[in-house]
C-alpha cells in the first residue's frame, strides 16, 4: 500500500435533505462531495418519493466513483439521505456501506439510517438482537441502531427514539429517513457535529459540517443540539429531546484540530481561526530560535501560520502535498516502497536549505510517519528541525468513532516525550497542553472529550478496554500455540 499519514483516521460524513420539488439526489451527491474528507472508503444515497420502497445506491470508493448521472436520475423522490464512510466499527466491506435500510416488522415499511460515530455497547446490543431472531446483515454498529428503531415499542416517533437512545451508548450523529419523514439526531454528549440549513424557504438540509451547506449556497441555520431529534415532514419541522441529558458534554477536540474542514463551524466557532490560535498557543508554550515555520499539509497549515505570527518567525511553505495519492489497491514495487512518505510529500530544498525549521503538525499517533517527514526535511538541507504538535500526547485509544490505535500501539503511551523526540529524529519536541488546547477552542473542558490525552472518558469504557487488550494478545497467543505444536519452547 502507498504509505498514508499517521493522523487519526477520519470519521464519517452524513447528509440529509427534505425538499419537495427539488433534485434531492443531486443535492445529496454534492453534499457528500463536500464531506469527502470525512471518509473515502464507501458512499451511498437512499431516496424516498413517499409512496413505496426506498431507492438505494451504495458502493466502495469515492463519491465521484460510486455515482453517475444514471444513478442520480434513478434516485427519485423528495427525501434523501447520504453517507460517506471511513470504517470504525465494522470493516471496509461493501456490506457495511451506508445508508443502512431495514424494515419495520409490523408495518413492513422501510427505515434508512446513516451514522457518524461509534457505539460502545454495540456487541451487547447485537447479540441481544440476534437472540430475538433479527437477521444482522453487516458487522457495523449502525445497523443495530436501525433495527432498534424498527423494533421499538410506542406509537409515536418520540417514543421510538426514546427507546433507541435509552439503550445505545457512545457517539452518534444520524440522519434517518422513513417513507414520508426525515430525522436528524445527535447523541446527548454531542460528540460528532451535525447542523441544519434551509432550502428555498420550504426545504431542510442536514449535514455533518456547515461547509457542505455553503457549497450548495445555503447558510447554516444552527447546529443540532446534543440529545436533540429534529423531525421534518409535510407539516413542517419539530424537535424533541427523548434521552436524558448527559452529565457532561463530550465534543471531540479532533474536530477542531484535524477532522473538520477549516471553513466549517463547530460548537459556534469557525475552525480556521481556532487552528491559528492552537498554533499561537503552541508558540507561547514552546518557543524556540529558528529561521522559519512550516506546517504539514493540509490540516496543520493554519496552526503553522498562527505559530509564525505569535513567534515572529517567518512562515514558509516547505512541504508540498500530492493530494491525489490516497488509498490504492495497486501494490507498489520496491523502489516506490522505499520512496515511502516522499510519495505524499515533497520538500522544497530552496526554501529549507541551511535553515532552522519549526515543523508544526496536529498529532503524532503511532510515530510511523513523522520520522520520515523529518528525514525528508533534513535531506532537503534543513540544519535543525523542531517538532511542534497542536494536540497533547495521545496516550489512550478512542471508542467514539476515531480509528486511532490500541494503547500498545500509541507511541505516547509507551515512550516519554524525550524518547519520542529521539524516535522521530527532531532536535526538539513540544506538545500543546490540554489547558492550552481547551483555551484555543474557546470551550469549557466540561463540553469537550479529551479522553485520548487524559484517559478520562465521558462514559465507562472498561469493557472496551478489556476487549482491546484481549485482541492485542490474540496474535501473540496464536504464535505461542503454533510454536508449541511445532515442538518449540
Active-site residues, by number, are 12
Cα torsion at 415, 418, 420, 424 (round to 10°)? -160
Query: Rg of the Cα trace of the chain?
Result: 23
Neighbours of 63 (CB within 10 A): 26
Beta carbons within 8 Å of 1's beta carbon, 6+ residues apart: 327, 328, 331, 332
Euclidean distance between CA atoms 307 and 311, whole angstroms = 6
- 3-state DSSP assignment of residue 355: coil
**Chain-centre distance of CA 398, in angstroms?**
11
Euclidean distance between CA atoms 61 and 68, whole angstroms = 13
HSE-up (13 A, CA, CB side) for residue 479: 5
* Closest C-alpha to 116, from 259, 235, 247, 258: 259
Phi, psi dihedrals of residue 329, rounded to the nearest 5°: -95, 0
Beta carbons within 8 Å of 305's beta carbon, 6+ residues apart: 276, 279, 295, 315
Question: How far, in Å, are 74, 108, 164, 192, 229 from residue 242 at the CA level?
Answer: 35, 24, 9, 18, 8
- 3-state DSSP assignment of residue 422: helix
For residue 140, give the C-alpha cell: 457495523
Beta carbons within 8 Å of 134's beta carbon, 6+ residues apart: 147, 151
Cα torsion at 15, 16, 22, 28 (round to 10°)? 20
* Closest C-alpha to 457, from 397, 379, 389: 397
For residue 213, give the C-alpha cell: 451547506
* Closest C-alpha to 208, from 36, 43, 326, 54: 36
Euclidean distance between CA atoms 436 and 277, whole angstroms = 10
Euclidean distance between CA atoms 219 and 212, whole angstroms = 10
Euclidean distance between CA atoms 46 and 56, whole angstroms = 4
Euclidean distance between CA atoms 176 and 80, whole angstroms = 9
Euclidean distance between CA atoms 167 and 141, whole angstroms = 13
Amino acid at each position: 500500500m502507498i504509505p498514508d499519514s499517521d493522523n487519526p483516521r477520519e470519521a464519517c460524513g452524513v447528509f440529509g435533505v427534505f425538499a419537495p420539488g427539488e433534485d434531492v439526489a443531486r443535492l445529496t451527491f454534492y453534499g457528500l462531495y463536500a464531506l469527502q474528507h470525512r471518509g473515502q472508503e464507501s458512499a451511498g444515497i437512499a431516496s424516498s418519493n413517499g409512496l413505496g420502497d426506498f431507492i438505494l445506491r451504495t458502493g466502495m470508493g469515492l463519491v465521484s466513483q460510486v455515482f453517475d448521472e444514471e444513478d442520480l436520475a434513478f434516485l427519485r423522490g423528495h427525501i434523501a439521505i447520504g453517507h460517506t464512510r471511513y470504517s470504525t466499527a465494522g470493516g471496509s466491506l461493501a456490506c457495511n456501506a451506508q445508508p443502512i435500510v431495514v424494515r419495520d416488522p409490523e408495518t413492513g415499511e422501510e427505515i434508512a439510517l446513516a451514522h457518524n460515530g461509534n457505539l460502545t455497547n454495540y456487541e451487547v446490543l447485537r447479540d441481544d438482537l440476534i437472540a430475538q431472531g433479527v437477521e444482522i446483515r453487516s458487522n457495523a454498529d449502525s445497523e443495530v441502531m436501525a433495527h432498534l428503531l424498527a423494533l421499538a415499542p410506542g406509537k409515536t416517533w418520540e417514543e421510538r427514539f426514546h427507546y433507541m437512545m435509552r439503550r445505545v451508548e457512545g457517539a452518534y450523529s444520524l440522519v434517518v429517513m422513513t417513507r414520508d419523514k426525515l430525522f436528524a439526531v445527535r447523541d446527548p454528549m454531542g460528540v460528532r457535529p451535525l447542523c441544519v440549513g434551509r432550502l428555498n424557504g420550504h426545504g431542510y438540509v442536514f449535514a455533518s459540517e456547515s461547509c457542505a451547506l455553503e457549497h450548495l449556497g445555503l447558510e447554516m441555520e444552527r447546529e443540532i443540539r446534543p440529545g436533540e431529534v429534529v423531525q421534518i415532514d409535510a407539516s413542517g419541522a419539530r424537535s424533541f429531546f427523548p434521552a436524558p441529558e448527559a452529565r457532561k458534554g463530550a465534543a471531540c477536540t479532533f474536530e477542531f484540530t484535524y477532522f473538520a474542514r477549516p471553513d466549517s463551524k463547530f460548537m459556534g466557532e469557525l475552525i480556521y481561526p481556532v487552528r491559528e490560535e492552537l498554533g499561537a498557543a503552541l508558540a507561547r508554550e514552546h518557543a524556540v530560535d529558528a529561521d522559519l515555520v512550516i506546517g504539514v499539509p493540509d490540516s496543520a497549515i493554519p496552526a503553522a501560520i498562527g505559530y509564525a505570527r505569535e513567534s515572529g518567525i517567518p512562515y514558509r511553505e516547505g512541504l508540498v502535498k500530492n493530494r491525489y495519492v490516497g488509498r490504492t489497491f495497486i501494490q507498489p514495487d520496491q523502489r516506490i516502497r522505499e520512496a515511502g512518505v516522499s510519495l505524499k510529500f515533497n520538500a522544497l530544498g530552496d526554501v529549507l536549505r541551511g535553515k532552522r525549521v519549526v515543523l508544526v503538525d496536529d498529532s503524532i499517533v503511532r510515530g510511523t510517519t513523522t520520522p520520515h517527514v523529518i528525514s525528508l526535511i533534513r535531506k532537503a538541507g534543513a540544519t535543525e528541525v523542531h517538532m511542534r504538535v497542536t494536540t497533547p500526547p495521545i496516550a489512550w485509544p478512542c471508542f467514539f468513532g476515531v480509528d486511532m490505535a490500541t494503547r500498545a500501539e500509541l507511541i505516547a503511551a509507551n515512550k516519554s516525550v524525550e524518547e519520542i523526540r529521539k524516535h522521530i529524529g527532531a532536535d526538539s519536541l513540544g506538545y500543546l497542553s490540554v489547558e492550552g488546547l481547551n483555551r484555543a477552542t474557546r470551550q469549557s473542558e466540561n463540553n469537550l472529550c479529551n479522553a485520548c490525552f487524559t484517559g478520562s472518558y465521558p462514559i465507562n469504557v472498561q469493557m472496551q478496554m478489556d476487549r482491546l487488550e484481549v485482541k492485542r494478545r490474540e496474535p501473540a497467543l496464536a504464535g505461542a500455540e503454533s510454536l508449541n505444536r511445532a515442538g518449540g519452547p
